[in-house]
Amino acid sequence: MDKQHIRNFCIVAHIDHGKSTLADRIIEKTGLLTEREMQEQVLDNMDIERERGITIKAQTVRTVYKAKDGQEYVFNLIDTPGHVDFNYEVSRSLAACDGAILVVDAAQGIEAQTLANVYLALDHDLEVFPVINKIDLPSAEPQRVIEEIEDVIGIEAKDAPLISAKNGIGIDDVLERIVERIPAPEGDEDAPLKALIFDSLYDSYRGVIVFVRIRDGKVRKGTRIRMMATGATAEVVEVGTFGAGQFIPGEELSAGMVGYITASIKNVRDTAVGDTVTDDDRPCDEALPGYKKVQSMVYCGMYPADGAKYPDLRDALEKLQLNDASLRYEPETSIALGFGFRCGFLGLLHLEIIQERLEREYNLDLVTTAPGVIYRIWKTNGEMVELTNPSNMPDPSEIDYMEEPIVSAEIMLTSEYLGAIMGLCQERRGRQTGMEYIEANRVLLKYDLPLNEIIYDFFDALKSRSRGYASFDYELKGYEKSSLVKLDILINREEVDALSFIVHADSAYERGRKMCEKLKDEIPRHLFEIPIQAAVGGKIIARETVKAVRKDVLAKCYGGDITRKKKLLEKQKEGKKRMRQIGNVEIPQKAFMSVLKLDSE
């Protein structure tokens, strides 16, 4: 296939604007799949993705389109994740493309992620053309949205296809536009191999399957390849392209093409996304730009609810990591929760997805501790330590100062909620860095926010305070000095390590109080009174009490009640089993997660 007939592109959009649906339509129209084979959303093949309506793992499909000029074109549609947690993956996927389709909802217009993604695409020098989706909605205002795109983003939108991906309206127009507007790839087939890894996948039969975009040169079975950043080498077993939901083996991949390589690589870590693949015998001079080591942003402890399941949890994490290089974990021990792992994630959504997969696919019952970010502690001896587990916080006398990660956030909203959202950012220690009216009633707010203020429930708060009209995007900006303290929780006068968390000194009292109130509701009454206290540096700042049980008695127990009575007692005993024993107190598993819901009232 000559390069002139290849189009490598992706679709960028704000969440729910119809990216996956358009992808489905393109696949359908290009005729590789019959309608019967067509699952509702072909690209999203993981259960969780379908339920959450988002794409987690970037995937790619190769289809063949016969254009109106009578020629056949190969389309490599590279799917990109739609969530801010996966920004780096998005940027690598974009780097594998030559152009992008920007999907904008005809009713909603531009949203925070529309901007973030389109700027990302423009940064990668991609040719971007817009399509206006959902024109069949009663509230659709395509003309307004076109103007918005031209004003805000500054790209031509006058002749943007007006489509409804859901109802298959305007798709032909999009296909022709892909041929016209997306440039054919460039690259030198005879130069040394230079290919970008934009994704990888672990398959238990074939090992790691590396997704690549070939910039220069060729790769075929038997080529000895080298990953330039990780240094791993391997001999290619198979190359090929992506059918919908299947791998189609081929002879070779050459400059301009998108495809996969298998080489009996056992660990996805060896094939880091963003790394450059070259020919070990004839390496290229320099790697492709932009490679970053993936950084975990959010950490939490994960413990099996049943301590005996620790090996199962370890195996499950190992397996998940084969497929998800951004998941980090290391063993840790908690006095309260026993053996578990401290896990690192790209963000809170990533955390939730992993948690759900562990519970659903591996049938594990988990106790998760409060998520936290990575703090930098500068000690008086000049040493710097990164803190991922609050329990490991050094003695305050050894601490010179602490730093916390700050993000630059962009929030797009309608102006009527401006006050509410600015209030929210204020509460979360935000610092306003900008505000632009992009239309009479639409505002782009820019804030610097501490990451630890947004990892719990910022997204939910934003949605509820704006009635869903605000959208949000952020990227890590750096670290700043901050006044942070470790908040400890004492139950029946015993410190519970798994409940400690780091908090800004100014909100310690408030959070401590809420935490105690929440735990008071979560901890069942015992035979004795249980004080619940919050403390900072040994000083009690809040207290609640779980009163002792006064009565738990069955007044009647005659012939017909005995079997039922036993069930009741069994339930009581079973309930006890599902709790964690801290000293004399039994604490339900979910109490450990209650800190997550402190602001939900």
Partner 1 sequence: MYVRALCNEIASYAGTVKEPVYTVFFGGGTPSVLTPDLLKKIMDTVVTHYDLIPGAEISLECNPGTAERATLAAYRSIGINRLSIGLQSACDSELKILGRIHDNKQFKSVYYEARDVGFDNINIDIMSAIPGQTIESYENTLTEIVNHDPEHISAYSLIIEEGTKFHDLYGDDNSVIYTHKVNDLSSHSNTRCDIPSLPDEDTERDMYHMTKEILSSAGYHRYEISNYAKDGYECRHNSVYWTGGKYLGFGLGASSYYGDNRYKNTSDLGEYLEQKGKRYDLIYIDESSAMEESMYLGLRMMKGVSITDWRKRFKRDIWDVYGKELRKLITDGLIVTDNDRIRLTDRGIDVSNIVFSNFLLD
Contact call for residues 508 and 515 (beta carbons, < 8 A): no
Report the greatest alpha carbon distance in the chain: 91
Q: Please report how close the Cβ of residue 521 comes to partner 1 at its closest, in angstroms.
A: 11
Shorter beta-carbon distance to partner 1: residue 66 or 576: 576
3-state secondary structure of 168: coil
Cα–Cα distance for residue pair 420/408, rounded to 1 Å: 19
Shorter beta-carbon distance to partner 1: residue 205 or 558: 558
Helix axes 19-29, 171-181, angle to 10 degrees: 90
Per-residue b/e over 566-581, b at no fewer than 16 CB within 10 Å? eeeeeeeeeeeeebbe
User: Which phi and psi (to 5°) does residue 248 adopt?
Assistant: -110, 105
Q: Please report how close the Cβ of residue 551 comes to partner 1 at its closest, in angstroms.
A: 5
CB 47: neighbour CB atoms within 10 A? 12
Shorter beta-carbon distance to partner 1: residue 187 or 524: 524
Cα–Cα distance for residue pair 248/260, rounded to 1 Å: 9
Cα–Cα distance for residue pair 485/502, rounded to 1 Å: 6
Establish if 308 lies at the interface with partner 1 (CB under 8 A).
no
Q: Please report how close the Cβ of residue 524 comes to partner 1 at its closest, in angstroms.
A: 11
Q: Please report how close the Cβ of residue 541 comes to partner 1 at its closest, in angstroms.
A: 29
Residues within window 490-549 making contact with partner 1, judged by CB under 8 A: 527, 549
- Binding track, positions 539-578, relative to partner 1; x by CB under 8 A: ----------xxxxxxxxxxxx-xx-xx-xxx-xx--x--
Q: Please report how close the Cβ of residue 590 comes to partner 1 at its closest, in angstroms.
A: 17
3-state secondary structure of 562: helix
Q: Please report how close the Cβ of residue 577 comes to partner 1 at its closest, in angstroms.
A: 10
Shorter beta-carbon distance to partner 1: residue 480 or 529: 529
76 half-sphere exposure, CB direction, 13 A CA radius: 31
Contact call for residues 46 and 34 (beta carbons, < 8 A): no
Q: Please report how close the Cβ of residue 582 comes to partner 1 at its closest, in angstroms.
A: 17
Q: Please report how close the Cβ of residue 586 comes to partner 1 at its closest, in angstroms.
A: 11
Shorter beta-carbon distance to partner 1: residue 286 or 561: 561
CA angle 40, 42, 46 (to 5 degrees): 95
Cα–Cα distance for residue pair 288/89, rounded to 1 Å: 15
Shorter beta-carbon distance to partner 1: residue 432 or 572: 572
Cα–Cα distance for residue pair 285/196, rounded to 1 Å: 14
Give the Å distances, CA to CA, from 145 to 157, 239, 412, 440: 9, 43, 15, 13
Cα–Cα distance for residue pair 496/547, rounded to 1 Å: 19
Q: Please report how close the Cβ of residue 532 comes to partner 1 at its closest, in angstroms.
A: 19
Contact call for residues 249 and 209 (beta carbons, < 8 A): no
Q: Please report how close the Cβ of residue 519 comes to partner 1 at its closest, in angstroms.
A: 17
Shorter beta-carbon distance to partner 1: residue 576 or 578: 576
Which residues, at least 6 apart from 556, have a Cβ–Cβ distance to it below 8 Å?
A: none
Shorter beta-carbon distance to partner 1: residue 395 or 552: 552
Q: Please report how close the Cβ of residue 525 comes to partner 1 at its closest, in angstroms.
A: 10
Shorter beta-carbon distance to partner 1: residue 540 or 548: 548
Residues within window 93-112 making contact with partner 1, judged by CB under 8 A: none
Shorter beta-carbon distance to partner 1: residue 540 or 569: 569
Q: Total binding residues for partner 1 by CB under 8 A?
A: 23
Instruction: Give the residues across from 373 on adjacent strands.
Output: 298
Shorter beta-carbon distance to partner 1: residue 565 or 590: 565
Helix axes 112-123, 87-95, angle to 10 degrees: 40
Q: Please report how close the Cβ of residue 548 comes to partner 1 at its closest, in angstroms.
A: 9
Q: Which of 500, 307, 276 is nearest to 389 (CA)?
A: 500
Shorter beta-carbon distance to partner 1: residue 435 or 548: 548
Return residues touching partner 1 (CB under 8 A).
527, 549-560, 562-563, 565-566, 568-570, 572-573, 576
